[in-house]
Amino acid sequence: MGPTTLPALLRDATPADAPALLAIYAPFVTGTAVSFETEVPSVEAFRARIAKALGGWAWLVAEDAQGHCLGYAYGSAHRERAAYRYCTEVSAYIAPGQRGRGLGRQLYTALFDRLAALGYCTALAGVAQPNDASMALHRALGFSVVGTYQRAGWKFGAWHDITWLQRPLREWPLDIAA
């Protein structure tokens, strides 16, 4: 890895971060198949996503010394049905010019500690192909590939595969009451 900035300040997101974080995310909706969304969410909708993640998972932000958001990572529900409640789906987005400097690793490392402390056992990530940086990030953080959904998404006039990866967050307890 090349020269790295000092470790970024990591903190919990707040709903007030929505405009800055949406500015990082929106280009992946409008210009790429990295996100399978086709419409950029409103700031209000994005704020609601942050609030929901903060309510049951975690949403972390990396910022510089001036308080500019450099990237974020968060956990969310994988599926809504109750038996999935120990799984969480994770994702990270780093601002242009800040990628490849260790921020994704820092954010994910902190995020996984938080998600494990909340009781989640398994992190899942879906990576639209190709995405070498995201595959490298997930592999570097201990994910293994589960498999690839072939042509799962249609965006910008083409089919896109999505590779699913998973990583343990903590021991799987065997004494869950229900």
Q: Which residues bind ligand COA (CB under 6 A)?
A: 1, 28, 34, 91-94, 99-105, 127, 131-134, 136-137, 140
Ramachandran area for residue 157 (φ above 0: left; ψ -120 to 50: alpha; else beta) = left
Residue placing its CB nearer to ligand COA in the complex, 94 or 175: 94
Residue placing its CB nearer to ligand COA in the complex, 92 or 111: 92
E-strand spans in the chain? 9-12, 59-63, 69-76, 87-94, 122-128, 144-155, 158-168
> Least distance to ligand COA from the beta carbon of 28, Å?
6
Residue placing its CB nearer to ligand COA in the complex, 72 or 120: 72
> Least distance to ligand COA from the beta carbon of 43, Å?
20
C-beta separation of 34 from 28 below 8 A:
yes
- With DSSP H G I counted as helix, E B as strand and the rest as coil, what are the percentages for the chain, rounded to 5? 30, 30, 35
> Least distance to ligand COA from the beta carbon of 106, Å?
7
Give the Cα separation of 34 and 153 in Å (integer). 10
Residue placing its CB nearer to ligand COA in the complex, 1 or 177: 1
Give the residue nearest to ligand COA (CB).
104
> Least distance to ligand COA from the beta carbon of 62, Å?
9
Peptide bond into 130 cis (omega under 30): yes
